[in-house]
Amino acid sequence: MNISATRARPFGSEACNHRCASGAANQPRETRASQIILEGTMGYTITVDHDKCTGDGECVDVCPVEVYELQDGKAVAVNEEECLGCESCVEVCEADAITIEEN
């Protein structure tokens, strides 16, 4: 069974603005993508510890580029290549189930 949740919070959170030097978090999705490509691609590895994940969907809601979905009651990074490295998901995860590492 796949359960999908969608982002409910606006882009441009304080955490995004603090971590994103390009200001891309405050731009429309198409603009963010082109800004990041122009600046060079930074890759991130996202790890979700499914033993810790409570499936509350906070990471899904807060992610400005829709990296996460809930599947079978757990967060899954389905669009890892879109990650901006803002770590908003890490901050809202009360279970400390998410880690992000720069490649």
Q: How many CA atoms lie within 13 Å of 20's alpha carbon, on the beta-carbon side? A: 25
The Cα angle at residue 60 between residues 78 and 47, in degrees rounded to 5 = 50
| Domains of the chain listed by start with CATH number | 14-102 (3.30.70.20)
For residue 26, the tally of other CB atoms under 10 A from its CB is 16
In whole angstroms, what is the distance from residue 24 CA to residue 39 CA? 11
Give the span between the Cα atoms of 38 and 58, in whole angstroms: 30
Instruction: Answer whether 0.75 is exceeded by the pTM.
Output: no
Q: Give pLDDT, residue 99.
A: 97
Q: What is the pLDDT of residues 46-93, one digit of tens each?
A: 999 999 999 999 999 999 999 999 999 999 999 999 999 999 999 999
| Mean pLDDT of the region 10-16 | 49
What are the angstrom distances between the C-alpha of 89 and each of 1, 30, 34, 51, 71? 24, 21, 23, 17, 16
